[in-house]
Copies of this chain bind each other. A is one copy, B any other.
Amino acid sequence: MPHDQPRDFAMSCPLPLDDHATVQLAHGGGGRMMRSLVDAVFLKAFEASGDGTAAPARQPPHDSAVVQIEGARLAFTTDTFVVHPLFFPGGDIGRLAVYGTVNDLAMAGARPLFLSAGFVLEEGLPLETLGRVVASMRDAARLSGVRIVTGDTKVVDRGKGDGVFINTAGIGLVPPGVEISPCRVVPGDVILVSGDLGRHGMAVMSVREGLGFEGALESDCEPLAGLVEALLFEGGKAEGGATAPSAKPQAAPSSFAGDIHCLRDLTRGGLAAALCEIAEDARVGIELDEAAIPVSEPVAGACELLGLDPLYVANEGRLVAMVAPAAAAWVLEVLRGHPAAHGPAEIGRVVAGHPGTVEVRGLLGGGRILDLLSGEQMPRIC
């Protein structure tokens, strides 16, 4: 779609930016306010950057940008991690920082190759803590089959940071023929998730709030590149516990590679945010079957206690897939056989009706609308 080059961003921000003169925690929550901020401030400015010539028609935002260099299609993405606390059941900020970017690359159908790592350290951070975080990144990179090849370190005064923030950017190679994008989602597509929802968010909340669920709740943070490889390429199916993408540069496409239309990993805002964004961007409706959506007992219990909806709670190792109906059974079978999927399920359909809207059908036949929250349930979850 065409877009203008606004002269003054502060002046041209639509609601809800006009409601607030300052940044709110909710602007970082993965909901409506973040989307408005990104649309009104960042996308408008940066789509107009470059050589000053007309920018190409705007693509729906996806987890990675795909750019062409010397004939190769490269996925390029960035993510900063500010999770609090730094260590939580099942993971830590270092592991999140590697897996988060690896997963964003994989959702574009790319093989993750190289990461950068930028650290903002707060004066007074114990070096032992930093050592543990970095060792965790090293192990996570090895497990994901990526190399961390460049880095940067800054230190800010005590009280101007919070221990450590980590940015990772990543480059991956999109193999020929692979097209994974919200643009390809069409009515009729089957919607699947790779496992149960809400573990990461509730594990972090549990330790942050001292709820005592620590034993039962562990983050699901995990690299998904091997799983995507298994969906897209023959022989890409991991054996044993390996989740790293295969080294084969020219593997043949899998039987149903072309039927896998869109992949999205579930992070801030959970399943609801991912599906609302895709429904809006692809101008399709989405209908979910509430009874089919996998949520574990401990997550359901903790959510009930805190008054949270698990559909909005963050994951860090789960993906949602939109696939052509003919491929759905095969995709579910691949997921069931893969060590990075944990209780995969078919949860709904893409429909032509109510474009832009996600509807959940309950057990008793009643429906409710899922919308992007304007704010957020849990700040600093990743």
B25, B69, B149: which contacts A65 (Cβ < 8 A)?
B149
A213 CB-CB contact with B under 8 Å: no
Bound-complex Cα distance A50 to B52 (A): 38
Bound-complex Cα distance A187 to B112 (A): 40
Bound-complex Cα distance A355 to B173 (A): 41
Residues of B within 8 A of A77 (CB): 116, 150
A116-129 contact mask (Cβ, 8 Å, vs B): 1 or 0: 11111111111110
Which stretch (A130-138, A216-224, A319-327) binds chain B?
A: A130-138
Bound-complex Cα distance A155 to B165 (A): 11
A160 CB-CB contact with B under 8 Å: yes
Residues of B within 8 A of A161 (CB): 160-162
Contact indicator B127/A46 (Cβ below 8 Å):
no
Contact indicator B169/A116 (Cβ below 8 Å):
yes
Contact indicator A41/B72 (Cβ below 8 Å):
no
Contact indicator B76/A171 (Cβ below 8 Å):
yes
8 Å CB interface, A42-64 against B = 42, 45-46, 48-52, 64
Residues of B within 8 A of A67 (CB): 113-114, 149, 171
Contact indicator B82/A131 (Cβ below 8 Å):
no
Residues of B within 8 A of A379 (CB): 155, 157
Residues of B within 8 A of A22 (CB): 123-127
Contact indicator B150/A117 (Cβ below 8 Å):
no
A147 CB-CB contact with B under 8 Å: yes
Which range contains the number of A residues in contact with the other chain? 35 or more
Contact indicator B9/A50 (Cβ below 8 Å):
no
The residue of chain B having its C-beta at the shortest distance from the C-beta of A380 within the complex is B156
Contact indicator B9/A51 (Cβ below 8 Å):
no
Residues of B within 8 A of A69 (CB): 69, 72, 74, 113, 171, 173
> What are 12 A-B interface contacts by the 8 Å CB criterion?
A10-B131, A13-B127, A23-B123, A49-B138, A50-B141, A50-B147, A65-B114, A76-B171, A79-B118, A80-B118, A118-B118, A154-B380
Taking A50-B141, A78-B117, A169-B169 as given, write out 18 further A-B residue pairs in contact, using a Cβ cutoff of 8 Å, ordered by the A residue number: A9-B130, A21-B128, A23-B130, A28-B156, A42-B134, A45-B137, A46-B137, A46-B151, A49-B147, A50-B142, A65-B150, A67-B113, A67-B149, A69-B173, A78-B150, A82-B120, A159-B159, A167-B169
